[in-house]
Amino acid sequence: HYSPYNGEVRRGYMHTDTGFWDTFRALFPFLNLMYPSVNKEIQEGLANSYEESGFLPEWASPGHRHCMVGNNSASVVADAYLKGCQTEKIDLLYEAVLHGANHVHPQVPSTGRLGYEYYNQKGYVPYNVGINENVARTLEYAYDDWCIMRLAQQLNRPQEEIDLYRERSKNYRFVFDKENNLMRGKNEDGTFQSPFSPYKWGDAFTEGNSWHYTWSVFHDVQGLIDLMGGKENFVSMLDSVFVVPPIYDDSYYGQCIHEIKEMQIMNMGNYAHGNQPIQHMIYLYNYAGQPWKAQYWLREVMDKLYTPYPDGYCGDEDNGQTSAWYIFSALGFYPVCPGSGEYVMGAPLFKKAILTLENGKQIVLNAPDNTNENRYIRSLKMNGKEYNHNWLKHEELMDGAVLDFDMSHTPNTERGINDEDFPYSLTNEDK
């Protein structure tokens, strides 16, 4: 039974540490689920930041700070509004989101979008124009454009505006290298950067390598599956993350940074859970009809990489993301794509868990046969009815729900394997 911090501590923490949006894939969806009133306050605070500075913060400490990449304030705003956080300042926030997508702060290049001129014209930030971590930026901007598109739809914006950001959200395709089935830097003339090593940290990526960032297509996993040649190839590439050795190229940094060392210590191939870019990857098996592999690897990570000791984190906590990943994963579901309104299925860690929502309703998760060996879902019932989907709807959980898991020591390879069971992807929506 989860017991939250008392209100004062919770509010104080969130208002003094509101930066680094690109690590918050789980933290802010957790607020949307458990404490929507607090998130409404945060949204109003973001609007104030825009009014005072001309930009939404990407890493507030407390003002704008040059650190990291991405424009994920768009994700934070869109996810909150789409999940019912109806702030009166939403029109101002949408204006702020559009401004950040098409400008960069004159003194703080991590605020707004560095390289937006190239991205808007070519569809990607080129590798050879003096903008480091360009593939990471391209992938983040594409996801953020999808978030803008979703918010624009809700606000009944002009169709041409919606279509513009829908098309831009597909820009991840420009940095996908079919020869290697991986994301790769691309030069201004359209050629891929060479030489290329998928083990090289930094350079075209941010505190990670191509094995980590290839999966950063949160809003269109089916599109990524198609680029890789289908579900079988996609699953093979997912498997390979755990199979390839934990080797690395640290020449960009000139030293072995702690994120690299943590990946080696974890000894799970090139899976680097100690840093955020890859933390959603395991859940992607659900999009390709093999959810039991997600169930296996999620339990491996929870059991091996988290401990109740002073060194119990496997890497950066980064303002709550690594904890939020564990809380969601231990409950059995995770927000792979904030803005979609879905949580992707894993498998619960506990025999029973109860979430009491702000609206007084409860989410009850029962898994009485759950053990370290019984980590696979044989069957699932939601409110007494058989449930085979690999996702849960936010709105249905907010109404209160009882999830009854029948756990097994062997995978059920017949559950969650049909197209209608797969989570949201933009490509499927277009079809």
Give the residue from 64, 35, 39 showing the smallest Cα distance to 49. Answer: 64
What is the Cα–Cα distance from 133 to 309, expressed in whole angstroms?
34
Residue 60: per-residue pLDDT: 81
Strands 362-366 and 401-408: parallel
Three-state SS at 375: coil
Q: Examine residue 195 and say whether the peptide bond preceding it is cis (omega within 30 degrees of 0).
A: yes
What is the Cα–Cα distance from 29 to 340, expressed in whole angstroms?
11
Structure tokens at 271: 């899976």
The whole-model pTM stands at 0.93
Q: What is the mean pLDDT of residues 199-213?
A: 97
Q: Assess whether pLDDT exceeds 80 at residue 13.
A: no
Q: Assess whether pLDDT exceeds 70 at residue 19.
A: no
Do the Cβ atoms of 146 and 427 come closer than 8 Å?
A: no
Average pLDDT of the chain? 92
Q: Assess whether pLDDT exceeds 90 at residue 62.
A: no
What is the Cα–Cα distance from 126 to 367, expressed in whole angstroms?
49
Residue 16: per-residue pLDDT: 26
Three-state SS at 376: strand
Read off the pLDDT band of 31 (50, 70, 90).
Answer: confident
Q: Assess whether pLDDT exceeds 90 at residue 115.
A: yes
Residue 25: per-residue pLDDT: 65
- For residue 242, CA distances in Å to 196, 209, 264, 303, 340 come to 20, 14, 12, 16, 28
Rounded to the nearest 5°, which phi and psi values hold at 429? Answer: -65, -40
Give the residue from 379, 391, 290, 390 showing the smallest Cα distance to 340. Answer: 391
Read off the pLDDT band of 7 (50, 70, 90).
Answer: very low
Which residue has tokens 């940290």? 201
Q: Assess whether pLDDT exceeds 50 at residue 284.
A: yes
Do the Cβ atoms of 212 and 189 come closer than 8 Å?
A: no
Residue 414: per-residue pLDDT: 98
Q: Assess whether pLDDT exceeds 80 at residue 378.
A: yes
Read off the pLDDT band of 33 (50, 70, 90).
Answer: confident
Q: What is the mean pLDDT of residues 72-98?
A: 95
Q: What is the mean pLDDT of residues 287-312?
A: 95
DSSP assignment of 197-212 equals -TTB-STTSSSS-HHH
DSSP assignment of 377-422 equals EEEEEETTEE---SEEEHHHHHT-EEEEEEEESS--TTSS-SGGGS
Edge-first strand listing for the sheet containing 342-345? 333-334, 342-345, 391-393
Three-state SS at 13: helix
Q: How far, in whole angstroms, is CA 219 from its chain's centroid?
A: 9
What is the Cα–Cα distance from 15 to 259, expressed in whole angstroms?
27
Q: Assess whether pLDDT exceeds 50 at residue 153.
A: yes
- Sorted by sequence, the CB contacts under 8 Å of residue 313 that are 6+ apart come out as 274, 306, 322
Read off the pLDDT band of 320 (50, 70, 90).
Answer: confident
Which range (50-64, 93-107, 322-336) has the least confidence?
50-64
Single-letter amino acid, residue 424: Y
Residue 32: per-residue pLDDT: 82
What is the Cα–Cα distance from 71 to 64, expressed in whole angstroms?
13
Q: What is the mean pLDDT of residues 220-245?
A: 98
Percent of the residues in the chain that have a pLDDT greater than 90, as a whole number:
84
Structure tokens at 87: 């702030």
Compute the chain's Rg from CA coordinates.
21
- Sorted by sequence, the CB contacts under 8 Å of residue 7 that are 6+ apart come out as none
Structure tokens at 269: 């191939």
